[in-house]
Amino acid sequence: MAETHATTTPRERYRAQVRAEIKERAWEQIATTGASALSLNAIAKQMGMSGPALYRYFASRDDLITALIRDAYRSLADACRLAAEAGPGPDLAALAHALRGWALADPQRYFLVYGTPVPGYHAPEDTTAITHEIMTLMLDACAALPPSGPASPFDAHLADHRAWTGDHPAPPAALHRALSFWTRLHGLLSLELAGHFTGMDFDPAEMYAAELDALLAG
Amino acid sequence: MAETHATTTPRERYRAQVRAEIKERAWEQIATTGASALSLNAIAKQMGMSGPALYRYFASRDDLITALIRDAYRSLADACRLAAEAGPGPDLAALAHALRGWALADPQRYFLVYGTPVPGYHAPEDTTAITHEIMTLMLDACAALPPSGPASPFDAHLADHRAWTGDHPAPPAALHRALSFWTRLHGLLSLELAGHFTGMDFDPAEMYAAELDALLAG
DNA sequence: GCAGGCCGTGATAGCTTCTCACCCAAGCTT
DNA sequence: AAGCTTGGGTGAGAAGCTATCACGGCCTGC
């Protein structure tokens, strides 16, 4: 990120490598026990180090989790961007497919981004930039769809409250569709990953496809 | 619940009262610091007791949280039932309004029910009965709506996978609508309560109303 | 009135995050 | 090439947490 020289110093390389390994172990631990049970001590023991040694690399447990959240956002944005750039043009279905794949690949990672927030915690500034990047991909895909149906009252509301799009040229109906895309698919994924569909015998993937179809139809 | 005599013994009354006060303090603490930071020690100190005293009333921290989750489910079901029984017949809009009111009244309580699950934790048996009760209210309201639009492929899937409704007579399209009602409104509420709409200048209440309108329209 | 059971306490074990003082080695500078 | 600075690692320790145990004392039911 902030490189003074083209080649980093050995110390910086080593530091980056250790930081990466700490995050690696943290992800393994989170995937099995959840983020709330993440233990710096356990990570240090796994790496053959003593507990306080980790504090040379992350100022606190919250600092480590913040780094993980940041990486998760980045990973999601990359997955979405990859899906968006795969086809000839913006493709909402591809975006939806990528989102579901990313979520199912590591549910706890999804919950780290979209799950229960800790009341005191405030996300760092750059994550909002990444969410904006993801939102732009959704807006692009929605703007490319043919308009359908009459304008709803909420479309009119959005026409007056579109500062969050950052000068995106999409019409209000596309804004509405992008928001619905986000909230509906999140609702489905969130309940599925939390296990609220277990015991119900329908296929969540089929409902996901149905919800996407409804979104595309308008 | 399981009363052997009409009048409980003084000991049982005292025990129930202390248990209720513990849960009261726990709710206050959860509302401000979240469920993951709930501390039995802090509750005991607030009540002027020593730490281990609480273990006479709840076997463990998880046991207390389980009781809170159970109460939250019960509270949600009661709020839904109250809204459903207020009007002349089943009313999906009233149900949606009650759901949103219940969620906004205590966001952490909502997250306790629908938020990030703890990987090891398994909900007790009776909560599934309460979710079934809530689902029945939604199915009743959806069955009362006029059918609209052609049957989707997912409707056909639901016709073959409807064991989770427990012999509810609603047609597949109503099943689909009830599921969409649940997942879409949850998606909206979950993102709003988690603060993912802060910084965006549109009104979540208006989008909630728009999503409800779309649900009612078909 | 009395005995039994329940409630609360202090002590204790084991875990956690996190701070501090110290040591040592790697690397940059002269 | 030698020395000094910088930064990594360790052990000890404080403060907090959950949870268990043995021990007193009050309340309750008989």
Q: Quote the crossing angle between the two packed helices B125-143 and B172-193, to the nearest 10°.
A: 120
Q: What pLDDT was estimated at residue B201? A: 96
Buried b (16+ CB within 10 A) or exposed e, B56-82: ebbeeeeebbbbbbebbbebbbebbbe
The answer to whether some atom of strand D lies closer than 7 Å to the beta carbon of A56 is yes
Q: What percent of chain A has pLDDT over 90?
A: 88
Q: Is the CB of B194 less than 8 angstroms away from the CB of A117?
A: yes
Per-residue pLDDT tens digits for B88-139: 988 999 999 999 999 999 999 999 999 999 998 988 999 999 999 999 999 9
pLDDT-derived band at B3, boundaries 50, 70, 90 = very low
CATH code linked to domain B66-217: 1.10.357.10
Dist CA B211 CA A199 (whole Å): 27
Whether B29 and B43 have beta carbons less than 8 Å apart is answered as yes
Q: What pLDDT was estimated at residue B92? A: 97
- In this predicted structure, the answer to whether residue B195 has a pLDDT above a threshold of 60 is yes
CATH code linked to domain B1-58: 1.10.10
Per-residue pLDDT tens digits for A163-180: 999 999 999 999 999 999
Dist CA B122 CA A197 (whole Å): 14
Say which CATH architecture domain A68-217 belongs to: Orthogonal Bundle (1.10)
- In this predicted structure, the answer to whether residue B77 has a pLDDT above a threshold of 80 is yes
- Please report the residues numbered 138 through 177 in chain B whose beta carbons come closer than 8 angstroms to any beta carbon of chain A: 152-154, 157-158, 161-164, 176
Computed over every residue of chain A, the mean pLDDT equals: 95
- In this predicted structure, the answer to whether residue A6 has a pLDDT above a threshold of 70 is no
How many Cβ atoms from other residues are within 10 Å of residue A192's Cβ?
20
Per-residue pLDDT tens digits for B133-149: 999 999 999 999 998 88
Q: What percent of chain A has pLDDT over 70?
A: 97
pLDDT-derived band at A112, boundaries 50, 70, 90 = very high
Dist CA B166 CA A102 (whole Å): 33
- The DSSP secondary structure of B137-158, one letter per residue, reads HHHHHHHTSPP-SPPPHHHHHH
Q: Chain A contact for B13, CB < 8 A?
A: no
- In this predicted structure, the answer to whether residue A148 has a pLDDT above a threshold of 90 is no
- In this predicted structure, the answer to whether residue B58 has a pLDDT above a threshold of 50 is yes
More confident residue, A2 or B136: B136
All residues of chain A having their beta carbon less than 8 Å from the beta carbon of residue B161 are 200-203
Counting Cβ atoms within 10 Å, is residue B41 exposed (0-12), middle (13-18) or buried (19+)? exposed
Dist CA A107 CA A114 (whole Å): 10
pLDDT-derived band at A59, boundaries 50, 70, 90 = very high
User: Encoding tokens for residue A102?
Assistant: 């990313």
- In this predicted structure, the answer to whether residue B8 has a pLDDT above a threshold of 90 is no
How many Cβ atoms from other residues are within 10 Å of residue B218's Cβ?
12
pLDDT-derived band at A3, boundaries 50, 70, 90 = very low
Cα-Cα-Cα-Cα dihedral sign, residues A162, A163, A166, A167: positive
Q: Is the CB of B195 less than 8 angstroms away from the CB of A163?
A: no
User: Encoding tokens for residue B55?
Assistant: 């273990």
Residues 27-46 of A with CB under 7 A from strand C: 38-42
- In this predicted structure, the answer to whether residue B46 has a pLDDT above a threshold of 60 is yes
The answer to whether some atom of strand D lies closer than 7 Å to the beta carbon of B40 is yes
Q: What pLDDT was estimated at residue A42? A: 98
Q: Is the CB of B184 less than 8 angstroms away from the CB of A187?
A: yes
How many residue contacts between A and B have a Cβ separation below 8 Å? 144
CA distances from B208 to A7, A25, B184 (A): 52, 40, 9
Dihedral of the CA atoms A60, A21, A19, B116 (nearest 10)?
-40
Domain ranges of chain A: 1-58, 68-217
